[in-house]
Chain A
């Protein structure tokens, strides 16, 4: 399969990147690893006039632990490097788990953290060949006004299936964006719109790096992923959990879902629910029930929706149980 024609640019510094973006006036697309963008281009879902590869910008490819113990992850750090960096790192175990389950080894060697976070939403009625696109009237995501997944829907339900966003969100990660020569930090959950057709509200901003805060005492995290095959597949449901344990009680908890909506779903009202309660299996079941009630997948990817929703409950239970049981060991 040939790619459509485009002009290739490879700036070597953030300043040149900025200048290029200004010159292109929105007529360019930024590529890092290319593992998501190139298939989309081959299917003619996008046909950019200019393609800016940011792989040659050296400042974007490092992971650093700063003096204040914050961790800075450059946007083009490969997923495989994340696997090695976060191996046996207890507070940030969710990042290791998620990175280790992205695609295949080849994909992990090529794909970058920035590309994984900013990957487009997917739908079995959108990610189709050119022939299919030529026959069927366009859906919301292709500029039309039909939704094949949810009949009579006024909006697009394409699902966000990134693995890395949910773990970074539960660990309070921030993204640093370059907006017209200014660097702006945003909590990661704020960069998603929740609309499948236009999933990100970063405008002309370019993702430069991620910042993870210093892990607090007692912080533990994990990530569970449900997919049809044990390798390669995107999550059709995923749960990231971070818990802070203090005096044998859950002091803080944050849960985020992926693969069930057009954006990662941060579970609401959970911290108040658990406050000062004794840690029992019954409580974990109740937490899983709250999570289940906030997961609303639709029929737009592999797997049955009831099974996907049920798996959210099951994986939440297993994740919390595993974290708590493993805490004292």
Chain B
């Protein structure tokens, strides 16, 4: 880790592993992961809304678990595997979860969607067969002001059913 001085404020050079790619970024100690993602790395899929951990729009995965990037210091992200919404689709192909969100109309304005998707990916990482209550609990920290919760839950349940069916067919 290199320490540089810039107008009396110490800066550090750190490496963040985001979506399986290493990014070398110069940060200030006070920078949150959200700020680095959006303003330094231009990964603007992660949204900045309340800034105090109440809305879930900035949710990303850290080592497979959903966390709030507005409440995490970028410096604490070193050595961790960070996944943002940009890391879901591979080679331009959407995941089954993203397709289900479109199919079920689980998106209205779209501002909560990236956070919502990351919370659900985090849920499936720990529980491949969640009940409706588990799903509600997993997205309780993601606020959707277009009130589209029912369609979001429908989309998640459809993905769960399809994944379980595919697993049984194999």
From 62 to 115 in chain A, residues with beta carbon under 8 angstroms from any chain B beta carbon are: 80, 103-107, 109-110
A232 to chain B: which residues have CB within 8 Å? 54, 140-141
Checking B31, B70, B76, B140 against A53 with a beta-carbon cut-off of 8 angstroms, the contacting residue is B76
CA distance A34 to B142 in the complex (A): 19
A231 within 8 A of B: yes
B interface size (C-beta, 8 A): 33
The yes or no answer to B29 lying at the interface (CB within 8 A) is yes
User: When the two chains form the complex, which single residue of A5, A10, A34, A103 contacts B72, counting CB atoms closer than 8 Å?
Assistant: A34
The yes or no answer to A55 lying at the interface (CB within 8 A) is yes
- Using known A-B contacts A1-B52, A231-B137, A232-B54, determine if residue A38 contacts B66 with beta carbons closer than 8 Å: no
- A131 CB to nearest B CB, Å: 15
Q: Say yes or no: A1 contacts B141, CB within 8 Å.
A: no
A2 to B36, CA, bound (A): 11
How close is A28's CB to chain B, nearest CB, in angstroms? 13
Which residue of chain B is the closest to A9 with respect to CB atoms? B29
B121 CB → nearest A CB, Å? 12
Which residue of the partner chain A has the closest CB to B143?
Answer: A232
Given contacts A1-B51, A104-B56, contact A109 B66 (CB under 8 A): yes
Query: A232-B140, A232-B141 are known contacts. Are A106 and B76 too (CB-CB below 8 A)?
Result: no
Which of chain A's residues has its CB closest to B134's CB? A105
A3 surroundings in chain B (CB, below 8 A): 30-32
Contact of A269 with B by CB under 8 A? no
Q: B35 to A105, Cβ gap below 8 A? A: no
B68 touches which one: A2, A53, A110 (CB < 8 A)?
A110
Smallest CB–CB gap between B72 and chain A, Å?
Answer: 7
Q: Does B53 contact A (CB under 8 A)?
A: yes
**14 A-B Cβ contacts within 8 A?**
A2-B35, A5-B28, A34-B71, A34-B72, A34-B76, A38-B52, A39-B52, A42-B51, A43-B52, A104-B56, A105-B66, A106-B53, A109-B67, A110-B72
